[in-house]
Amino acid sequence: MSRPLNPRYTFPEFIVGRSNEAAYTAASAAAVAPGRLYNPILITGGTGLGKTHLAHAVTAESVIRPGRRAELVTADDFLRLLSQGVAAGDPTAALGAMREADLLVIDDVHVLDRHGAAQDALASLAAHAVATEHQLLLTSDDASGSDMLAKRLVGHFRSAHVATLGAPDWAHRVAILHAKAKTLGIVLPPSVAHHLAAQCEGSVRELEGSITRLQAVAALDGSSLSLALARRALPTKQRAGAVSSGAQAVQEAVAAEWGVSPAALVGEGRTRALAEPRRIGMLLCRDLLALSIREIGAAFGDRDSSTVLSALERARSDLARDSAMADRVARLRELLAVTAPSPR
């Protein structure tokens, strides 16, 4: 009955960041000690953020443990088995294997939203799992409140836990891209990773699709992966604030290092306490993200090109003569987990 496991969907292949750490931790706990810490567990989030990956990973981690029985089904599987049981006159018998599993994972339970009998059967399974310390882990889409059924269900149990998967931030997206490139056996230049991370802000699936598509274009052209190829092969998203996601990551890191607020960096203040980190932020956006002068100006409070050019020149001059500042900027580059490409 259990679904075949995707060999790529394992815990080591799941790239952890701030947006998914809570869900990863809960799933890991379920695999190591089912029914002990959180039960049931609901992992909720949008499409392509890793719900199914974690569902397969926790199951894969469980089945390799001696004497452990794990079952992974989708909500559609659940409905089909329940219907077969009803037709045979014994709906509970069809779900017997699920009741006996040490770990039961049901993917996409939001599908059950309009199936009253299935909801009752799921509630019965949940109660049985908690009573017998068998682990139940559910995943649900959170679009338009479609996860409310699952949240109502787990809300009945004091030991329940809800973990939400959010969209990855810029640094997390860069890490995901490099991990995907590694699995494909390709070298992804930092400038290309930064460009893709700025363009693909939605889901992990979209990120991985972008690098696969870029690899295909490079193979057809007989060319190497480069920023120029990425800009040509993948459509650029036009939106207010230009490439705000990557710039925001840089601004937050610089603001923390200099002890100012990110909002102040893009504001009108011209004191040295603000002008210096603002120049460094612009420089990092140029070097790390390969943003154009116009994009940098837009990201820093709609400043004009001459202001940006002057700031970049001053920042490079400051770094050349001030070793302490150069060390601070080097730490920022490391914090952002990138190696800067050569300035254009």
Q: For 57-90, how does the pLDDT look when each residue is reduced to its tens digit (9 = 90+)? A: 999 999 888 889 999 999 999 999 888 888 888 7
Q: Are 172 and 19 in contact (CB under 8 A)?
A: yes
- Count the Cβ atoms, other than its own, within 10 Å of residue 14: 20
Q: Are 104 and 69 in contact (CB under 8 A)?
A: no
Q: At what angle do helices 244-258 and 170-184 cross, to 10 degrees?
A: 120
Higher pLDDT: 165 or 146? It is: 165
- In the block, residue with structure tokens 């870029």: 214
The reported pLDDT for the residue numbered 159 is 84
Q: Where are the domains of the chain?
A: 21-165, 170-233, 244-335
Residue 176 has pLDDT above 50, yes or no: yes
Q: Are 233 and 206 in contact (CB under 8 A)?
A: no
Pick the closest to residue 286 from 278, 295, 298, 274 (CA basis). 295
Q: Is it true that the peptide bond before 341 is cis, omega within 30 degrees of 0?
A: no
Q: Are 126 and 149 in contact (CB under 8 A)?
A: no
- State the architecture of 244-335 in CATH terms: Orthogonal Bundle (1.10)
- In the block, residue with structure tokens 């059967």: 121
CATH code of the domain occupying 170-233: 1.10.8.60
Residue 235 has pLDDT above 70, yes or no: no
**For 21-165, which CATH class?**
alpha beta
Mean pLDDT of 101-121: 89
Taking phi over 0 as left and psi of -120 to 50 as alpha, with beta for the rest, 222 belongs to: left
Higher pLDDT: 167 or 343? It is: 167
- The runs of H, that is alpha helices, within the chain are 21-32, 51-63, 75-87, 91-94, 96-100, 116-132, 148-154, 170-184, 190-199, 204-221, 227-233, 244-258, 262-265, 272-289, 293-299, 305-321, 323-335
Q: Are 338 and 246 in contact (CB under 8 A)?
A: no
Residue 246 has pLDDT above 80, yes or no: no
The reported pLDDT for the residue numbered 343 is 34
